[in-house]
Amino acid sequence: MFLTISTTGTPERPATDLGFLLHKHPGKAQTFSTSHGTAHVLYPEATAERCTAALLLEVDPVALVRRGKGKGRGGAPDSALAQYVNDRPYAASSLLSVAITTVFKSALRGVCKALPERAAATMPLRIEVPALSARGGPELVHKLFGPLGWERVKSEPVALDEKFPAWGESRYVKLVLEGELRLADALRQLYVLLPVLDDTKHYWVAPDEVDKLLRAGEGWLADHPEQKLITSRYLSRRWGLTRQAMEALELVRLAEADDTEVEDIDNAVAETAEADEKPAPLAAQRREVIGRVLRAAGAGRVLDLGCGEGQLVHELLKDVRFTEITGVDVSMRALRIAARRLRLEQMGERRSERVKLLQGSLAYTDKRLKGYDAAVLSEVIEHVDPERLPALEYAVFGAARPQTVLVTTPNVEYNVRWETLPAGHVRHGDHRFEWTREEFRGWAAKVAQRHGYETEFLPVGPDDPEVGPPTQMAVFRRATADRTDEKTTKEAKAA
């Protein structure tokens, strides 16, 4: 089995950085023992302009048989083949996946102490697998790799025999992937999708395979359109494990997008309206109101605190009046998804200068957050433990001190209007609390008093005369005296 990984470079970022990221020196060939043979890593080319790393796996057929190949363990469809004469030593499969995770363990995790910034960044990659078993053919290959950010997915069928074309094509393809991706993401995709395309595994599929799938699928599998097929094949169609993995992926998806469950409820409520006048989802209404308030405040530089997957950042970027939009989130996974949503790598220079994504915790003061006109905490505070709210309050209102702060949070009184929400349940499993209008206004009043802000409260969504709106918003504006004192201080320093 054979796999090559190539990249190109510049004098500032030489292609040989690939050796650091893979933790394998380009100047020598290296050998590693695996449970089914020997893996070799070598570099056919290694210059500053172009570098290629090759992984060659020599499969030991005797070791393969001794470890249970052909005994039906894991439900392998090839179990009827002769034990010693089969395609396993030649076509990429789960054997190569195991070799990848054995030889490139640190690269899979995205760890590189020598060049951490390179490990975290995308790079031009070309991955080639000369012989890949693909049950589903080139069409399935494109369905699996196409949604993952590759600019080019080339899958050429391999003929059964080149001398006899009439015999037709085999189930093998030559795979070429080209695009700008993080090396760790590319390796994780291969680790999962090679056995999925082969539709078999050479080893027993135990319950711990679910955890392996979730780790390798982090950041891409939860939203993949072929998630069900990938999960089922990876787990050798063991339906109990497949169901467990699908449920876990759904939880991941909901955790990554705080608005998901609320939007689903919004859509259900929308069905009660007239068919030709369906209201926009509540999340979209929130973003519309936030944008309107920010524009009215004259804000140019805006912080989206707890930006998640970047929906609000994406919306604000459409308006050139917002000259700088910075998204902040504690989750690197969410920031990677936001970067893909925003297409930061393909964004033009003028547009890219207006947006930044930062990792940071709102429980700590951060000097990077100072100097902004406005900050938004949209559906954030309810995800914070009540005992940690004072820390968030000080970090935003006491340390960063933007002129305007917008805070939105669910109105728990409105929950009785959600037909799909069981009584006593919060709207999202991660919500630490949901406040009544009185509780929210009481909290906001104390925050404003402590930090010199004035408050205004706005409804988001239909304002029910009995229970109020589904989302409540507080608009904090720094008191006039506070702004005047700051201006005087700046003028004094300038003088």
What gap in Å lies between CA 253 and CA 342, rounded to an integer? Answer: 18
pLDDT tier for residue 53 given thresholds of 50, 70 and 90: very high
Indicate whether 488 pLDDT > 70.
no
Kindly provide the residue ranges of all beta strands, DSSP E only, lying in 35-150, ordered along the sequence.
Answer: 37-46, 50-59, 123-133
Say which range, 60-64, 203-207, 230-234, has the weakest mean pLDDT: 60-64
Q: What is the mean pLDDT of residues 153-178?
A: 81
Kindly report the average pLDDT of the chain as a whole number.
Answer: 84
Q: What is the pLDDT of residues 425-454, one digit of tens each?
A: 788 878 899 999 999 999 999 999 999 999
Q: Which residues contact 30 (CB under 8 A, 6 or more apart)?
A: 24, 40, 41, 42
Q: What is the pLDDT of residues 345-383, one digit of tens each?
A: 888 888 889 999 999 999 999 999 999 999 999 999 999
Indicate whether 259 pLDDT > 50.
no
Cα-based distances in Å from 351 to 6, 92, 326: 30, 42, 13
Indicate whether 293 pLDDT > 70.
yes
Let me know the angle formed at the C-alpha of 182 by 179 and 185, rounded to the nearest 5 degrees: 100
pLDDT tier for residue 230 given thresholds of 50, 70 and 90: very high
pLDDT tier for residue 277 given thresholds of 50, 70 and 90: very low
Q: What is the pLDDT of residue 348?
A: 83
Residue 112 CB-half CA count within 13 A: 23
Indicate whether 495 pLDDT > 50.
no
Higher pLDDT: 465 or 277? It is: 465
Identity of residue 294: L
Indicate whether 272 pLDDT > 50.
no
The most confident of 204-218, 277-291, 382-396, by mean pLDDT: 382-396
What gap in Å lies between CA 133 and CA 127, rounded to an integer? Answer: 16
Instruction: Give Cα 347 distance to the centre of its chain.
Output: 18
What gap in Å lies between CA 13 and CA 27, rounded to an integer? Answer: 18
Partner residues linked to 454 by β-bridges:
477
pTM of the predicted structure, to 2 decimals: 0.50
Higher pLDDT: 494 or 10? It is: 10
Residue 197 CB-half CA count within 13 A: 32
Domains of the chain (ranges plus CATH)? 2-204 (3.30.1610.20), 275-494 (3.40.50.150)
Q: What is the pLDDT of residue 191?
A: 93
Question: Whose CA is closest to 158, among 176, 168, 172, 140?
Answer: 172
Looking at residue 151, the DSSP 8-state letter turns out to be S
Q: What is the pLDDT of residues 99-133, one digit of tens each?
A: 898 899 999 999 999 899 999 999 999 999 998 88
What gap in Å lies between CA 443 and CA 407, rounded to an integer? Answer: 11
Token pair, residue 234, equals 């990876």
Three-class SS of residue 290? helix
Pairing of strands 355-359, 374-378: unpaired
Token pair, residue 159, equals 């003929």
Residue 180's CB is within 10 A of a number of other CB atoms, namely 14
